[in-house]
Amino acid sequence: MSIEKLKFGGPPTTPEEENEFVLDRNKYLLEHIAHQEEQLGIDHLTGLKNRKAFENELEKSLKAIREGGEPQRKKSEPLEEISLIFVDLDNFKQVNDTHGHLEGDNVLKKVAEILATSVREADVVARFGGDEFYVLLPRANEKEGKVVADKIRINLENDDKLTEFNVTASIGVSSADVANPLDPESLIQRADAAAYVAKGNGKNQVVVHNGDGI
């Protein structure tokens, strides 16, 4: 629905009607902005890529690898390897339960800010939903992916706001290259499985899926 077609009724004639008019208009504008951001591939809360945009980027990268290192862009070097980082926050549910969802949203925004400043410009950071985030690292092998994941974990652990709420991250890393291109689902599943092990081993740590297991 366009804003021109939005029907607020006749002009407000009482303070109550004017207040209702303003609330209706603001609600529409917020929904309109959220829809526009969704179309642009942006998560409305954090400003990161959303799940759909991230999945598209991952598929394009793996397609380039499967096709023998085809360049992602003209005049760029062939893409032959990538790493995927899955960041699953620890103790986030307690923030919402104890301090409310508004404070929980503030924590997610802080995490997004830390992730975005912990990676290279070419890397893709996305919020999958809830307290789950992914980072796609083009041209990064398993070892390099682990280095970035460790950096992210330390930066999250050392943030004052996150420390206040005892929020850390269990992180999983998986990789693909021309010798083992994988598909998006498999690469995501491996990163998820590694993060699950990290969570089970005591949280706030990085685990790498080496291809044969963990």
Active site residues: 131
Distance CA 58, CA 62 (A): 6
Beta bridge partners of 138: 82
Distance CA 166, CA 94 (A): 9
Distance CA 177, CA 67 (A): 11
CA dihedral angle for residue 72, residue 74, residue 79, residue 84, rounded to 10 degrees = -30
- Say if strands 124-129 and 168-177 run parallel, antiparallel, or are unpaired: unpaired
Report the run of H or E that residue 180 belongs to, with start and end.
none
Distance CA 65, CA 184 (A): 12
What Å distances lie between residue 98 and 95, 166, 203, CA to CA? 5, 12, 20
Picking from 109, 134, 111, the residue whose alpha carbon sits closest to that of residue 123 is: 134
